Amino acid sequence: MSAKRTLLFIVIFIFMLSSSASAKKDIIVFHAGSLSVAFKKMAREFEKLHKDYHIVLEASGSRMAARKIADLHKPCDVMASADYTVINNLLIDTNNAKFNILFAKNEMAIVFTDKSRYADIINSKNWYKILLKKDVVVGHSNPNDDPCGYRTMLVVKLAEKYYKIPGFFKKLFGYPDYYKTGFEKKGKVIVRPKETDLISLLQMHYIDYVFLYKSVAIQHHLRYITLPEEISLKSKRFEDFYRTVSFKVTGKKPNQFISKKGAPIIYSLTIPENSNSPQNRTGAVLFVKFILSKEGERIMKEYGQGIINPPILEGDASILK
């Protein structure tokens, strides 16, 4: 075979490979930051089964993800939220989705590393005293963007009641009943858009302790304090006590607020339905069904998430048929 013919075959082969790759159809998934590790694994396993699809993952705070769909009109095929009420309030109530599937659970924890100040003495009985120490830096995500942020506020308010510590919330954060950028105590509290943004700061020792989901601590091999179920937002058994506290987050208009009451942590998902979404209806349906499959459940459990089995469907999910 001549050199020219060999070169021609190589060019044709490369073209065929690139054509095959470009033929893959994207499935755009907006998801809570705390689902990043599990969803990366799900995407890999899904693509092995469905070689003509490519999962495009975009992590953010759940409220931010919903705003990208409803307010910024960004195309999205599947959205998974760390708080099922986000999909109800920001997507279904605004006619940007028709159904909500509750599929997973979690709990809040105090997360730290071996190099965190007082790491050698902190435990489940004294953590609130450690966090109040002047030289300890505490981190949480933005309550207006991320459910983990407002859940942090709720946990601290519940701890104030549970441990009978008058003014604990005010002493630790100093916020009124809502948060705005700049409210945090300088040198004491660090805030980032979503909970997983805080992990690198924790690992670099800029922060000593972070309020995070237990699953995130497990996924990143971090130390954590397990909180009593009365304040961890884990158990339906204590939902009446959870409801005794609340925190305000920004609403749809300037100076408008939504009150978030304490409640068990429940994750949910949907397929957005508006003029821009879904762009890949068939792929969206396939990926939702994979998330809810036995393999999807296995992956969620592997990365420390509780499962709702069977999942709870609310609304019109005829798109899945």
Q: Kindly state the average pLDDT of the residues 54-76.
A: 96
DSSP string of 227-251?
PPHHHHS--GGGHHHHTT-EEEEE-
| pTM of structure | 0.89
Q: Specify the pairing of strand 99-105 against strand 306-315.
A: antiparallel
Each residue's pLDDT tens digit, 156-211: 999 999 999 999 999 999 999 999 999 999 999 999 998 788 999 999 999 999 99
Q: Percentages helix, strand, coil for the chain, rounded to the nearest 5?
A: 40, 25, 35
pLDDT at 254 over 90: no
pLDDT at 14: 54
Each residue's pLDDT tens digit, 36-46: 999 999 999 99
Paired with 30 in beta bridges are: 58, 79
14 vs 299, higher pLDDT: 299
In whole angstroms, what is the distance from residue 65 CA to residue 234 CA? 23
**Is residue 10 very low, low, confident or very high in pLDDT (cuts 50, 70, 90)?**
low
pLDDT at 19 over 50: no
Least confident of 227-231, 253-257, 274-278: 253-257
In whole angstroms, what is the distance from residue 79 CA to residue 30 CA? 5
Give me the percent of the chain exceeding a pLDDT of 90: 89
Residue with tokens 């009365």: 230
H-type alpha helices, the chain: 3-22, 36-49, 62-70, 84-86, 127-131, 147-162, 168-172, 198-203, 214-219, 229-232, 239-242, 281-291, 294-302
| Amino acid residing at 251 | G
pLDDT at 112 over 50: yes
On the 0-12 / 13-18 / 19+ scale of CB atoms within 10 A, 165 is middle
pLDDT at 55: 98
Q: What is the mean pLDDT of the chain?
A: 93
Contact predicate 74/64, CB 8 Å: no
